[in-house]
Chain A
Amino acid sequence: MPFHLLFRNLTGHWLRSLLTILSVAVAVFLICVLHAVVTGLSRTVETASSNRLLVQSAVSLYVDLPLAYQQKLASVPGVEAICKWQWFGGRYEQDKGGFFAQFGIDPDTFAKSYPEITVTEGSYEEFQKTRTACIVGADLASKYGWKIGQTVPILGTIYQRTDGQPWQFLVAGIYESSTPTIDQQTLYFQFEYLRESLETGGAQGPDGIGVYMLKVAEGHDPVEVQRASDALFENGPQRVQTTTEAEFNRQFVTMLGDVPTLMQMVGSAVLFAIFFAVLNTMIMAGRERTKDIGILKALGFTDATTALLLIGESLLLCALGAALGAGLGVALEPAFQATVSAMMPGFGFDKDTLLLGTGLALAIGLVSGVVPGIRAARLTTVAALKEIG
């Protein structure tokens, strides 16, 4: 097998080869990103806790529930703790174009309900004690260079301070999360700080709670707690929908539509586009080499060898493109994670994702090489040499 011929043929049309390699690289990179999105979403759902339930308005997540519901929910048998979650929707003054989530929560029950969160810098006790304190995810702190004891100014969009000034949150702790369900890009502050500000007229905005988190006591069936919670408000004043954390995450994700199906469709389109591009390149290469095929056969190379040369060239093109695309994915992974981890904490280019991208590229290379390869094998020496006069 004249392997050097395989490489020379590639470099002989270096621009075409380079463009094909880059096309495959971009396609592999895109497929890896799309696959990482799908797996990231499913990981967020799969790793959700089974003993946490979330209560939201039956109408929509955008409709708040009355504060008084907490007391009623506490009476449901099996509820060990309740933690309020209120979306704040503010913007960091120093980076108005940037986005990260802020939630008002109950520090005492939050710590009990989310053992996956560990404060690695600062003190959770300080967070509990200080009304204006907050804890921030390690990635978020790293992104903005926040330190313990620093005050973070957040401009309210839903909740605006009446003095027109930004809210000031004191960084009391930096947390890390051991589960993809909870990202490291969120700022949690005391809900009481928000409530007091609203009650005293220091701020204005809707009252109520977006979501109540119920921690189910050990030995109790979450399904029963779910039913009881829903039944409690069946006759109003505002009906609720209680779901498992997994279901809540799934619903949250599907608010954007059927993301996995959409990703698969886009991925398939990318695959087909690149398949046709590589196939076109290889068919052109095969036709251009009709003369070379005739020469090789005249010299004594078999039909199989001439076919394998084209298949090998196609595989090499796609393998180089796949390596470049996968390498690009690995290199850009931190940047991607920093961008999407708030929405998708489980996002990442794992081994399966990279293998999928590379495997698909090689499959494309194989099929694209087989088409001109079969032609080369079938071509008689005389016909191949005649074609060039």
Chain B
Amino acid sequence: MTDSRIDIRRLTKTYQRGGETVHVLDELDLGMEGGTFYALMGPSGSGKTTLLNMLGGLDVPDSGDVLVGDENLSQLSGNELAQWRSQNVGFVFQGFNLLPVLTARENVELPLLLTPLSKKERRAQAERALALVGLTDRMDHKPRELSGGQEQRVAIARAIATDPALILADEPTGDLDRTTANSILELLQRLNRELKKTILMVTHDPEAAGYADKVIHLDKGKLGRIEDNRKPAGAR
């Protein structure tokens, strides 16, 4: 992916819930610049996670287009989407979602198995990613031997291991205390500023959203206001 600009055009997604059709995303149009840190906010059921899943190729829309760089995700098959994800997106989840049977290093190496790198190169790359998140001394620990913050750092290292242009984070600080949450948010901010990653972070937390360059508000599947934190009044 040469350009990580995101264009969403008339994106629609509905679910059937108790015989009722729920419009989770309702002909949503949205453009996002590459290399920017976005926070996505909105009440529960506003379509934040659904939008994140669409952008990551984890879910498919009923209609509309999702363009990430040059790729129209709506036109890719399941296997093509899987391949696209492995090369272009890193995910950070609220519950960390590390494989419990693998060590921190092995968890980070996991997405690298889908690259043509040799075993030695994969190991080196995983160690670099873990060093970047400050976990050099915890590489051989399994998730249960790590704190929540450390687990989320491993998850972030895994998300950046393949050097994707886009990082999608779904409530990455939802399970963490304030201090740990701030350190994770600072890490994401650093990834955006130093490595120019495009980050889209779903959050309920206004303080967390404060770390983003821009805050997109969704309401009932439609686009609300967009705040720009880089303006002098909201700049951090």
Binding site for B on A (CB under 8 A): 1-2, 4-5, 8-9, 11-12, 291-292, 294-303, 380-382, 385, 388-389
Asked if A300 contacts B82 (CB within 8 A), the reply is yes
What residues of chain B lie closer than 8 Å to A2, measured between beta carbons? 110, 113
**Which of A9, A302, A389 is within 8 Å of B101, CB to CB?**
A9
Asked if B111 contacts A300 (CB within 8 A), the reply is yes
Asked if B95 contacts A298 (CB within 8 A), the reply is no
What CA separation (Å) do A295 and B86 show in the bound complex?
12
- B100 interfacial by beta-carbon distance below 8 Å: yes
Assuming the contacts A2-B113, A4-B106, A385-B93, asked whether A298 and B99 have C-beta atoms less than 8 A apart, the reply is no
Asked if A388 contacts B91 (CB within 8 A), the reply is no
**Which of B78, B79, B86, B106 is within 8 Å of A299, CB to CB?**
B86
* 22 residue pairs from A and B, CB less than 8 Å apart: A1-B113, A2-B110, A2-B113, A4-B106, A5-B102, A8-B102, A296-B110, A298-B56, A298-B58, A298-B85, A299-B86, A299-B110, A299-B158, A300-B84, A300-B86, A300-B87, A301-B114, A302-B78, A303-B82, A381-B53, A381-B59, A382-B58
What residues of chain A lie closer than 8 Å to B72, measured between beta carbons? none
Q: List the A residue with the shortest CB-CB distance to B88.
A: A300
Asked if A297 contacts B82 (CB within 8 A), the reply is yes
What residues of chain B lie closer than 8 Å to A382, measured between beta carbons? 53, 58-59
- B147 interfacial by beta-carbon distance below 8 Å: no
What CA separation (Å) do A158 and B113 show in the bound complex?
76
What residues of chain B lie closer than 8 Å to A4, measured between beta carbons? 102, 106
Assuming the contacts A380-B59, A381-B58, A382-B58, asked whether A298 and B102 have C-beta atoms less than 8 A apart, the reply is no
- B83 interfacial by beta-carbon distance below 8 Å: yes
What residues of chain A lie closer than 8 Å to B97, measured between beta carbons? 291, 294-295, 298, 385
**Which of B58, B59, B82, B100 is within 8 Å of A12, CB to CB?**
B100
What CA separation (Å) do A319 and B96 show in the bound complex?
34
Asked if B95 contacts A5 (CB within 8 A), the reply is no
Assuming the contacts A2-B110, A382-B58, A388-B95, asked whether A302 and B100 have C-beta atoms less than 8 A apart, the reply is no
Asked if A299 contacts B101 (CB within 8 A), the reply is no
What CA separation (Å) do A292 and B106 show in the bound complex?
14
**Which of A9, A12, A389 is within 8 Å of B95, CB to CB?**
A389
One digit per residue, 1 when the CB lies within 8 angstroms of any chain A CB and 0 when it does not, for chain B 38-64 equals 000000000000000100101100000
Q: List the A residue with the shortest CB-CB distance to B100.
A: A12
Asked if B101 contacts A8 (CB within 8 A), the reply is yes
Q: Taking the nearest CB of chain B, how far is it from the CB of A7, in angstroms? A: 9
Assuming the contacts A291-B97, A295-B97, asked whether A302 and B82 have C-beta atoms less than 8 A apart, the reply is yes
What CA separation (Å) do A158 and B99 show in the bound complex?
72
What residues of chain A lie closer than 8 Å to B85, measured between beta carbons? 298-300
What CA separation (Å) do A2 and B86 show in the bound complex?
14
What CA separation (Å) do A301 and B110 show in the bound complex?
10
What residues of chain B lie closer than 8 Å to A9, measured between beta carbons? 101
What residues of chain B lie closer than 8 Å to A301, measured between beta carbons? 82, 86, 114
What residues of chain A lie closer than 8 Å to B58, measured between beta carbons? 297-298, 380-382, 385
What CA separation (Å) do A105 and B175 show in the bound complex?
88
What CA separation (Å) do A5 and B114 show in the bound complex?
14
What residues of chain B lie closer than 8 Å to A292, measured between beta carbons? 99
Q: List the B residue with the shortest CB-CB distance to A10.
A: B101
Q: Taking the nearest CB of chain B, how far is it from the CB of A206, in angstroms? A: 72
